[in-house]
Amino acid sequence: MKIKTLLLGAIASTAMAPMAMAERGSDGNVSIIYWQAPSILNPFLSGGTKDVEAASLVIEPLARYDQDGNMVPYLAAEIPTVENGGVSEDLTSITWKIAPGITWSDGTPFTSADVKFTADYCMDPEGGCAQVTKFEGVTSVEAVDDLTVKVTFDKPTPFPYGPFVGGESPIIQAAQFADCMGAKAPECTEQNFNPIGTGPFVVTEFKPNDVITFKANDNYRDPAKPAFATVTFKGGGDATAAGRAVMETGEFDYAWNLQLAPEVIAQMQEGGKGTPVAGFGPLVERIMLNQTNPSPELPEGERSTAKHPHPFLQDPAVYKAMSMAIDRPLLVEIGYGQAGKVTCNWVPAPAAFNSTSMTCDTQDIEGAKKLLDDAGIVDTDGDGVREKDGVPLKIVYQTSTNAVRQDFQALIKEWWSQIGIETELRNINASVFFGGDPGSPDTFQKFYADVEMYANTFNGTDPQSYLGNGLCDKAPRPETQWQGENISRFCNEEFDKLHAQLAQTAGLEQRAEIAKQLNDIMVQNGGMIPLVHRGRLSAHANTLGGVVLNVWDSELWNIADWYRKTGS
């Protein structure tokens, strides 16, 4: 089967399988494999998708997004709107009503105090919250009564659904995390590895970067769910082994993010044990350009911070030439086939937010050389490497360990060498690279390299919070425990002002136009080099029912509805 066929039909053919009525825990164990192993179960301390999604089995938001991108209530009774009185007429506040009767897995009541605590935890100025952009503009979170919480913003906010919506912004228990505020947050190992939640499962054992075991939550709000009594969540290895474990050997039931060449997927499916599922959301493989100097010669604590600008990557001639030298159609062909598209954009989806102001589908080596020549960035000593102000264009290019990414690195290194840029390649175990350990030199947040490549996406269909990742004050730094979503340390006054305008703008068309401008400022000013708009591609066992791929939220968003098919 071709990947194109999967993209068109896989969701429709698998999503609507009827749910077999069963009692909680009647279907035994379900086995999940993420080749990027979770390193923590607190998504506020890690921006890594693997950590956010593993945690989503346990901790939940007030609302999340379904497979069509619609916002649906989870812990809330309904979605607040102006029409139902949940959003104030002046758009400066949103009031959530919590569904009655929800308890934590330890049997204690879930209340508005937990919601307020979660906001205080993430917004603590001495902490380092990976999801702090969700709380942009929030001035207060008030527990009005046990089942009512009011969020107030500093200005009219037409899209007030950043806090507590989607898998990246869940609620943590106030009682459990009370002693973990601010700088103490990363030190709370027990809490970060074994969070108490409201979700369908409870952690029984967490081995970082290895395996997590879960059991059904006895206090889950639906007495018939989850169908599975236990979950084995294996991390590590590589995408190839993960795909084979589901589609060829049947050892696992679900494999996430099969970042593999199309022909490899097709061969695996012939094994007859599993089925790929795919769909396009806003996921983009990109190269982030460090706006700061990562040199190890700088004092620790100052590397990759705003104290030291990068010696050449802020030069438009350099980053534009680097982009021009890349053959994106070839990258799509060898890496993703029909599960990839060329993109110049940070935000390629939903379609309304996809900018059309740039083209990048044709490689131009000669044009890149001329751009550098005209800027006076030339090879003065004949070693094949250009210099800017006496500094050689030598870069460290890092990414996670993955066959497709290493292929991309090799090609891009060659193309950059053709325009006079020397590249040293590094690949880092994904569990470490996407981990949140503030002491590790190898995380993508710490960014101890000149450029790094990975993919990122956002929950929901409105990119306001995601675009907030380009704000000056969201850069990771020692004071934030190296957390923060502005990985490039990009800082542009026009961008910050425009994002503030987006936060106050109503109407899809107007919001889309501002979002496109923000996208263009980031890309055209060297914050990143977008490469491929990627389809999400995972696989599930043919015996696993209830799977609905969701490109707008956690892929495990509806694991409470999964079940074992009978007669398979």
Question: What pLDDT is recorded for position 17?
Answer: 38
CA gap 545, 17 in Å, rounded: 7
pLDDT in tens, 286-333: 999 999 999 999 998 999 999 999 999 999 999 999 999 999 999 999
pLDDT in tens, 67-105: 989 999 999 999 999 999 999 999 999 999 999 999 999
CA gap 246, 88 in Å, rounded: 48
Domain ranges of the chain: 21-58+199-279+536-567, 60-187, 284-534
Q: Residue 533: in which H helix or E strand, if any?
A: strand 528-541
Comparing C-alpha atoms, which of 213, 210, 275 is closest to residue 429? 210
**Nearest-5° Cα angle at 167, 492 to 558:** 150
Exposure string of 371-387, with b = 16+ CB inside 10 Å and e = fewer, is bbbebebeeeeeeeebb
User: At 470, which amino acid appears?
Assistant: G
- The pLDDT confidence band at residue 263, using thresholds 50, 70 and 90, is confident
Comparing C-alpha atoms, which of 80, 27, 38 is closest to residue 233? 38
CA gap 232, 235 in Å, rounded: 10
Residue at token pair 């590094």: 426
C-alpha torsion 297→299→301→302, nearest 10: -70
- The pLDDT confidence band at residue 567, using thresholds 50, 70 and 90, is low
Burial class of residue 18 in the structure, from the number of CB atoms within 10 Å of its CB (0-12 exposed, 13-18 middle, 19+ buried):
exposed
Half-sphere exposure of 201 (CA within 13 A, CB side): 31
Average pLDDT of the residues in 490-511? 94
Any idea which fold 60-187 has? Answer: Dipeptide-binding Protein; domain 1 (3.90.76)
Residue 77 token pair? 């009774």
Quick check: 436 pLDDT over 90?
no
Query: Is the separation of the CB atoms in 38 and 51 below 8 Å?
Result: yes
Q: Which residues sit opposite 565 in a β-bridge?
A: none
Rounded alpha-carbon distances, angstroms, from residue 545 to 14, 33, 274: 8, 17, 12
Question: What pLDDT is recorded for position 128?
Answer: 85
- The pLDDT confidence band at residue 127, using thresholds 50, 70 and 90, is confident
Average pLDDT of the residues in 139-167? 96
CATH architecture of 284-534: Roll (3.10)
- The pLDDT confidence band at residue 6, using thresholds 50, 70 and 90, is very low
Question: What pLDDT is recorded for position 306?
Answer: 96
Quick check: 10 pLDDT over 80?
no
Quick check: 20 pLDDT over 80?
no
Q: Are strands 394-400 and 451-456 parallel, antiparallel or unpaired?
A: parallel
Rounded alpha-carbon distances, angstroms, from residue 463 to 15, 73, 401, 512: 26, 20, 28, 9
Query: Is the separation of the CB atoms in 261 and 42 below 8 Å?
Result: no
Question: What pLDDT is recorded for position 259?
Answer: 87
- The pLDDT confidence band at residue 13, using thresholds 50, 70 and 90, is very low
CA gap 255, 35 in Å, rounded: 8
CA gap 497, 494 in Å, rounded: 5
Mean pLDDT of the chain: 93
Average pLDDT of the residues in 437-465? 94
Query: Is the separation of the CB atoms in 361 and 329 below 8 Å?
Result: yes
Spatial CB neighbours of 5, under 8 Å, sequence gap ≥ 6: none
Q: What are the φ/ψ torsions at residue 135 (nearest 5 degrees)?
A: -105, 20
Least confident range from 190-204, 252-266, 397-411: namely 252-266
Question: What pLDDT is recorded for position 23?
Answer: 87
Residue at token pair 């503009």: 137
Give one DSSP letter per residue of 338-381, joined into a string: GGEEE---S---SGGG---S----S--HHHHHHHHHHTT-B-SS
Quick check: 211 pLDDT over 80?
yes
Average pLDDT of the residues in 427-448? 92
3-state SS assignment for residue 504: coil
Same fold, 60-187 and 284-534: no
Residue 130 token pair? 């990976």
Residue 559 token pair? 């694991």
- The pLDDT confidence band at residue 2, using thresholds 50, 70 and 90, is very low
CA gap 561, 543 in Å, rounded: 14
Query: Is the separation of the CB atoms in 379 and 371 below 8 Å?
Result: no
Question: What pLDDT is recorded for position 18?
Answer: 41
3-state SS assignment for residue 540: strand
Average pLDDT of the residues in 488-507? 95
Question: What pLDDT is recorded for position 16?
Answer: 36
Quick check: 568 pLDDT over 80?
no
3-state SS assignment for residue 413: helix
Q: Which residues sit opposite 428 in a β-bridge?
A: 400
CA gap 125, 63 in Å, rounded: 26
Length of the chain: 568
CATH class of 21-58+199-279+536-567: alpha beta
Quick check: 155 pLDDT over 90?
yes
Average pLDDT of the residues in 123-152? 95
Q: How far apart are the first and last CA of the chain?
A: 21
User: At 318, which amino acid appears?
Assistant: V
Residue 310 token pair? 């990068």
**Nearest-5° Cα angle at 149, 143 to 155:** 105
- Omega of the bond prior to 476 within 30 degrees of 0, cis? no
Question: What pLDDT is recorded for position 238?
Answer: 92
Average pLDDT of the residues in 151-175? 96
Average pLDDT of the residues in 47-62? 95
- The pLDDT confidence band at residue 4, using thresholds 50, 70 and 90, is very low
CA gap 562, 218 in Å, rounded: 17
- The pLDDT confidence band at residue 22, using thresholds 50, 70 and 90, is low
Task: Provide the percentage of residues in the chain whose pLDDT is more than 70.
Answer: 96
pLDDT in tens, 328-386: 999 999 998 878 999 999 999 999 999 999 999 999 999 999 999 999 999 999 999 99
Question: What pLDDT is recorded for position 437?
Answer: 86
